[in-house]
Each structure stands twice: as C-alpha cells, then as structure tokens.
Amino acid sequence: MNIRFDRFPQGVTKAITLSFDDGREYDRRLVKLFNDYGLKGTFHINSGLLGRESYLKASEVAELFQGHEVSIHTTHHPFLEQSPQEQIIYQVVQDRQVLEEIVRYPIRGMSYPFGTYNDSVIEQLQAIGIEYARTTASHGGFHMPENMLHWHPTCHHKNMLDVADQFLNLNQRHSRMSLLYVWGHSYEFENDQNWELINQFGEKLGRKRDIWYATNAEIVAYMKSIQALRFTMDCKVVHNPTATDVWISVNDKTIEVKAGSIEDLG
C-alpha cells in the first residue's frame, strides 16, 4: 500500500496563494483584479494604521475582502525581533482583536513586519496561538513549507511572471503538492506603474481547473486536516475525524476521504 499526501482539494496537485501587506488604498484595485481572474489573496493589515492617509478605512475592510482573507501584520508595524516580549504579544494580540471585530471570524495567521523575526518571536507567536507567519525570503520554488511559522514565499510580485510559465508547465516525475506563493504590496504596483503584471498573471494562471486558488489560512487548515487522518497499521483503512474533505493518493490513484468518514482502501 503506497499512500501519499500529495493532493489538494478536488485531487489537484497545484495551488496558488497571493499575500499582500499593509492594508493600503490600492488593495481596492488589487481585489477587483483578483476577483476578475478568480484568484484568492490574504491581506495582512496593520489595524493601527487604518483610516490614515493612503490606508483603507476600517469600515470598508469586511466587505472589500469578502472571499479573501484578512490577517495580522501587527498593530503598528514594529521590528518584532527588536521588541520586548510584552510588545510582541501586544502588537499581535491587539491587531488580531481589532481585525476579528471587523471581519467576524477567527484570525490565526500573519506576516512579519519588514519580514524580520527570530526564534524568540516565533516562540511568542506559538504561545498565543498563531498558526502561520509569512516571511519575505523568497525561494523561487514551489514546495510546501516545512514550518508554517517561517513560511517562505515563492517570489515577490515583481517576479510573478518569471515563475508563471514554469509553474503552469510543471511536469513532475512523481506527483507532489506544488504551491506558487506570491507576496508584495499593492502600492508598489502604483509606484512602479506595472498593474499589467496582475492582468498578465491572471490571463496565464486564472480560473484553471487543475489549480486550487486558496488563502493562506485555507492552505493551513487543509494541511492540518490531512495530518489528522488516522490509519490502521496496515494502512488499509483510514478515518477522517475532521469536518473537511481531503484527497490523497493510494497506489497512484486519487482517493477522496470525506469529512467524518471511515474508508476501506483495500
């Protein structure tokens, strides 16, 4: 019995997630483009900056990001690795509380301000229930993260077209989950006058049946559900104790394991 955790929802092997920081006014235009192309984004917001010049207003956040994810970026965007423990906790917890009051769902993820962190920061995040945190250390690849609390993206959005064709034409000898993770800031599109990057990216990779378009939180939740599967010692029977349908490979055949089900894999 050869079982592999190599499938995203609907049995596909490719996923795309996009992640943008700061909650600036140009997120409005970016969200519209995402919606046009069927892309999904996670938007990391500094709640203490909402309402300031060039930033979004708190009153528009919930509606604007419907279908996407609102996540933490700390209240005031400090260097966390230079902060005392109390400030780390305050900046993350307060941001979470304010944003949850706005969007009315639990927030358990974030991106690091300035992309900087250290082991002490990660330890504090674990203690207060943060499940993932994105860095700015692009690796150029499509592999899944080894540790969600230092989740390195594929590339900055200025390089999104450089990897788009490579991802689209990915041909793997052995199937595995492949994730294209793009990060950036919406105001950079405006500053560089290169909004066409999103249009070209969407034309190449938007609305494809063999790609899962997901937020950061959706990817984390799905991976947790896969890891929660329970197998008999001979791996011929599996129990999915979660409320999420998951897909796996069994002897190179794609199998759906429905939420709450016990499946005989033969």
6-56 residue pLDDT tens: 999 999 999 999 999 999 999 999 999 999 999 999 999 999 999 999 999
* Residue 49 phi, psi (nearest 5): -105, -5
Q: What is the mean pLDDT of residues 136-153?
A: 97
Six-digit token string for 163? 């990897």
pLDDT confidence bin for 155, thresholds 50/70/90? very high
Q: Please state, for a pLDDT cut of 90, what percent of the chain lies above it.
A: 97
Give the start-end residues of each E strand in the chain: 3-4, 14-22, 41-45, 69-72, 109-111, 132-134, 155-156, 178-184, 211-213, 230-231, 237-239, 246-250, 253-257, 262-264
* Residue 70 phi, psi (nearest 5): -100, 130
What one-character DSSP code corresponds to residue 46?
Answer: -
**Contact assessment for residue 125 and residue 119, using Cβ atoms and an 8 Å cutoff:** no
Strands 132-134 and 155-156: unpaired
Q: What is the structure's pLDDT at 172? A: 65
Q: What is the mean pLDDT of residues 198-215?
A: 98
Domains of the chain: 13-215 (3.20.20.370), 228-264 (no CATH)
Whether 230 shows a pLDDT value over 70: the answer reads: yes
Six-digit token string for 202? 């969407």
Whether 165 shows a pLDDT value over 90: the answer reads: yes
Q: What is the mean pLDDT of residues 135-149?
A: 97
Whether 266 shows a pLDDT value over 90: the answer reads: no
CA distance 246 to 266: 18
Whether 174 shows a pLDDT value over 70: the answer reads: no
Whether 162 shows a pLDDT value over 90: the answer reads: yes
The strand pairing partners of 110, in sequence order, are 72, 133
Give the model confidence (pLDDT) of 43-97 as tens digits: 999 999 999 999 999 999 999 999 999 999 999 999 999 999 999 999 999 999 9
Q: What is the structure's pLDDT at 175? A: 80
Q: What is the mean pLDDT of the chain?
A: 97
Q: What is the mean pLDDT of residues 163-168?
A: 95
Q: What is the structure's pLDDT at 173? A: 61
pTM of model > 0.95: yes
